[in-house]
């Protein structure tokens, strides 16, 4: 392999979220632009795939093609699968959250790669993107899900453009479904919440932590991952504040979902009493311990377990069958909006990136004070 102006390139191994390992080549063009390409799967034992030597030989072949000018334009071999794997490696390199990478990997594996198969990127047109969106709609996917899939597809094509694998991004011109009907949120009424709490056996192995967690979710609006990452050092009962500093999502601790995710939330009187009792009850009550630790070993509760147990309690309480743990967050949002909490304040408490997200609660629950406020306003005008 002849030495190039910016070196002869290098090979490295990228491990995807599903555990699949691939060889990647990385080099710089004579103009100084960095390029990357998947070379093939890593060989395990005598199975299929490439050894390091074979991966280096494949990289050498690509560099020779580049010298001949054949690699200067769009990569004729680039598919959704190949580009997706390269995109995931790039996201890992630039430090994107593991939860984000896992979400991208899931959408690529479950939806995008099976649909487009071996179709080359350069052959995918705007109409193909719109046909894909319609197919997903017929399968029952919501508008929000389809928009998320198109968002990942758009990012994938942008990445391919930066690598000079395609010349255009067909997703930019494709029609996207309107997010209609997605603003209707689901929540529990306070009566339903009381019924659920009453059905939780606080004397059982998991019952006490279940009850404390459900009450905290409904009274603070914390996300499931934020509840799982909460430590006793974050709970200030004297100041009646709860500080969100980290989240536990997909098996690892990380910063909250958005920049506004790190925040302070007030603790209600009922919640303060419940948390004080819970700290005296749990075996894990030191400042560094998790507030909602697994009762058997003190580590974070599995997310799936939290959902299953909550739904089981809700079923006993005869709350609707499609209830989700996340609905407790909406319970907090709608209750606070109905009580007259300003939207900007509610935005801070819930850790929303922008106010528009918070405004879904503004008109959802009618405040009992609205009529009185209107009556007072007209009374003042008449005076």
- Residue 201 structure tokens: 């056996």
Higher pLDDT, 289 or 176: 289
Residues 284 and 335 in one domain: yes
Q: Is residue 366 part of a domain?
A: no
Say what the pLDDT of residue 4 is. Answer: 38
Q: Is residue 348 part of a domain?
A: yes
The model's confidence at residue 2, banded by pLDDT at 50, 70 and 90, is: very low
Closest-CA residue to 236 (of 205, 267, 279, 268): 267
Say what the pLDDT of residue 307 is. Answer: 93
Residues 163 and 236 in one domain: no
Say what the pLDDT of residue 71 is. Answer: 46
Q: Is residue 181 part of a domain?
A: no
Residues 168 and 194 in one domain: no
Say what the pLDDT of residue 271 is. Answer: 95
Residue that terminates a domain, selected from 119, 138, 173: 173
Q: What is the pTM of this model?
A: 0.65
Please give the Cα distance from 332 to 190 (Å, whole number).
10
CATH number of the domain at 282, please: 1.10.443.10
Q: What is the count of structural domains for the chain?
A: 2
Q: What is the mean pLDDT of residues 110-114?
A: 94
Q: Is residue 222 part of a domain?
A: yes
SS (H, E, C) the chain: CCCCCCCCCEEEEEECCCCCEEEEEEEECCCCCEEEEEEEEECCCCCCCECHHHHHHHHHHHHHHHHCCCCCCCCCCCEHHHHHHHHHHHHHHCCCCHHHHHHHHHHHHHHHHHHHCCCEHHHCCHHHHHHHHHHHHHCCCCHHHHHHHHHHHHHHHHHHHHCCCCCCCHHHHCCCCCCCCCCCCCCCCHHHHHHHHHCCCCCCCCHHHHHHHHHHHHHHCCCHHHHHCCEHHHEECCCCEEEECCEEECCEEECCCCHHHCEEEECCHHHHHHHHHHHHHCCCCCCCCECCECCCCCCECCHHHHHHHHHHHHHHCCCCCCCCCCHHHHHHHHHHHHCCCCHHHHHHHHCCCCHHHHHHHCCCCCCCCHHHHHHHHHHHHHC
Residue that terminates a domain, selected from 117, 145, 173: 173
CATH number of the domain at 65, please: 1.10.150.130
Q: What is the pLDDT of residues 73-98, one digit of tens each?
A: 445 568 898 888 888 888 887 878 77
Say what the pLDDT of residue 55 is. Answer: 87
CB atoms within 10 A of CB 278: 21
Q: What is the pLDDT of residues 183-198, one digit of tens each?
A: 568 899 999 999 999 9
- Residue 362 structure tokens: 């503004």
Give residue 32's Cα distance to chain centre. 35
Residues 255 and 167 in one domain: no
Residues 105 and 67 in one domain: yes
Say what the pLDDT of residue 240 is. Answer: 95
Q: Is residue 326 part of a domain?
A: yes
Q: Is residue 230 part of a domain?
A: yes
Q: What is the pLDDT of residues 135-169, one digit of tens each?
A: 999 998 888 899 999 999 999 999 988 887 888 99
Q: What is the mean pLDDT of residues 206-224?
A: 95
Residues near 304 by beta carbon (within 8 Å), at least 6 away in sequence? none
Residues 213 and 166 in one domain: no
Q: Is residue 368 part of a domain?
A: no
Say what the pLDDT of residue 345 is. Answer: 94
Q: What is the pLDDT of residues 3-62, one digit of tens each?
A: 434 456 888 888 876 677 888 888 877 666 667 777 888 888 776 778 888 888 888 887
Q: Is residue 138 part of a domain?
A: yes
User: Residue 298 pLDDT > 80, yes or no?
Assistant: yes
Residues 284 and 323 in one domain: yes
CA dihedral defined by 118, 123, 126, 130, rounded to 10 degrees?
-20
CA distances from 42 to 10, 49, 156 (A): 15, 5, 23
Residues 278 and 149 in one domain: no
CB contact at 8 A, 292 and 209: yes
Residue with tokens 């190949």: 82
Residues 119 and 25 in one domain: yes
Domain boundaries, position 341: 190-361
Q: What is the pLDDT of residues 126-143, one digit of tens each?
A: 999 999 999 999 998 888
CB contact at 8 A, 157 and 121: yes
Residues 239 and 349 in one domain: yes
Residues 195 and 279 in one domain: yes
Q: What is the pLDDT of residues 222-280, one digit of tens each?
A: 999 999 999 999 999 999 999 999 988 877 888 776 666 689 999 999 999 999 999 99
Residues 213 and 327 in one domain: yes
CB contact at 8 A, 50 and 43: yes
Residue that terminates a domain, selected from 173, 206, 230: 173
């Amino acid at each position: 392999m002849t030495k190039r102006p910016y070196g002869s390139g290098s090979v490295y191994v990228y491990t995807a979220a599903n555990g699949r390992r691939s060889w990647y080549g990385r080099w710089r063009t004579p103009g100084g632009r960095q390029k990357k390409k998947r070379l093939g799967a890593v060989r395990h034992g005598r199975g299929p795939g490439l050894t390091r030597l074979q991966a280096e030989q494949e990289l050498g072949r690509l560099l020779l093609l580049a010298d001949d000018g054949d690699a200067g334009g769009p990569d004729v071999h680039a598919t959704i699968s190949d580009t997706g794997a390269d995109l995931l490696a790039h996201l890992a390199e630039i430090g994107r959250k593991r939860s984000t990478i896992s979400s991208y990997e899931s959408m690529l594996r479950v939806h995008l790669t099976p649909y487009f198969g071996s179709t080359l990127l350069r052959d995918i047109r705007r109409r193909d993107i719109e046909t894909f969106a319609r197919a997903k709609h017929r399968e029952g996917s919501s508008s929000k899900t389809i928009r998320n899939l198109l968002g990942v597809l758009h990012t994938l094509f942008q990445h391919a453009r930066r690598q000079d694998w395609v010349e255009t991004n067909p997703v930019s011109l494709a029609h996207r479904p309107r997010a209609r009907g997605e603003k209707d949120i689901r929540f529990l009424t306070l009566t339903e919440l009381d019924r659920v709490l009453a059905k939780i056996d606080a004397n059982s192995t998991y019952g006490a932590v279940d009850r404390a967690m459900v009450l905290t979710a409904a009274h603070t609006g914390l996300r499931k991952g934020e509840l799982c990452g909460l430590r006793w050092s974050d709970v200030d009962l004297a100041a009646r504040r709860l500080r969100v500093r980290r989240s536990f999502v997909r098996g690892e601790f990380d910063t909250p979902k958005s920049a506004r995710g790190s925040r302070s939330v007030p603790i209600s009187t009922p919640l303060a009493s419940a948390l004080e009792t819970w700290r005296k009850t749990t075996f894990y009550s030191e400042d560094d311990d998790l507030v909602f630790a697994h009762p058997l070993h003190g580590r974070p509760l599995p997310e799936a377990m939290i959902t299953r147990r909550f739904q089981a309690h809700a079923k006993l309480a005869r709350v609707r069958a499609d209830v989700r743990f996340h609905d407790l967050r909406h319970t907090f949002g709608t209750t606070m909006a109905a009580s007259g909490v300003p939207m900007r304040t509610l935005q801070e408490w819930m850790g929303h990136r922008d106010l528009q997200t918070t405004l879904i609660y503004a008109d959802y629950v009618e405040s009992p004070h609205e009529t009185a406020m209107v009556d007072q306003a007209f009374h003042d005008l008449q005076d």
